[in-house]
Amino acid sequence: MRNTKNKPRGVDRDRVGIVAGFVVIALVLATLVLYATSMGGINLMESLGILIIIVLVVSAAWVLVDRMRNARAGLPAKDEMTVKLSHKAGYYAYLASIYIALAFMWYSNSLEESGGVGLDGGQTGGGIILLSAIVFMGSYFYLSHKGAAE
Amino acid sequence: MKTRIKEFRAKYDMTQEQLAQKVGVRRETIVFLEAGRYNPSLKLAYDVAKVLKTRIEELFIFEG
């Protein structure tokens, strides 16, 4: 049994991870602001991309605040349950990314067939990454409320 | 899976947070364990049983 008077193992590493997470969030937000201000006007697809990034940033901030609360109470920020939940959510995001890629290919082809311009590599890649990240965060939140008893 | 963690915790007048600290997990993990919504690893089950001074088979009741 661990001595409760001492900090649990990995607490300092957890704190470094939390601070690093907040730094990354700040950098993403700064990049987003720079991008939005440098563009003259933002079209619908770009606004959707920005909205997805904001949702991801808010979700990541929520996870970090939750970890910070645990670290402050002298508890580990992550444990075997959160690791298991992350792995499960990652598996769902991986499966989703395959179907999202197929959907993007189908959408791009249908755009070209109707005489329009198909999606380029950057749009397809960015869309797959952002939507997979949304599936990951959604799965993580769902599983962390439902539990991971399988 | 059913557990008797809550019963044993009450016996030793221990809060979920205190148990979490002694075992080295988050409080949410103890909440899920008590509710039978999380299947712990053998190590975690052993650690919880050790802190609550009992045996794993008395703490966790597996159903079919």
For A60, the token pair is 């990541």
> Which chain B residue lies closest to A147 (C-alpha atoms)?
B37
φ, ψ dihedrals at A4, nearest 5°: -75, -15
The strand pairing partners of B61, in sequence order, are B2
Cα A99 to Cα A47: distance, rounded to the nearest angstrom: 23
Task: Give residue-wise pLDDT tens across range B23-59.
Answer: 999 999 999 999 988 999 999 999 999 999 999 999 9
Weakest-pLDDT range from A98-102, A121-125, A145-149, B24-28: A145-149
Q: Where are the beta strands (DSSP E) in A9-80?
A: none
Q: What is the ipTM of this complex?
A: 0.87
Q: Residue B12: which residues within 8 A CB-CB, separation 6 or more?
A: B52, B53
> Which chain B residue lies closest to A71 (C-alpha atoms)?
B26
Distance from CA of B9 to the nearest CA of A (A): 16
For A81, the token pair is 């349950």
* Residues constituting chain A: 150
Enter the pTM of the model. 0.79
Q: Residue A136: which residues within 8 A CB-CB, separation 6 or more?
A: A89, A90, A92, A93
A74 interaction partners in chain B (CB closer than 8 Å): 21
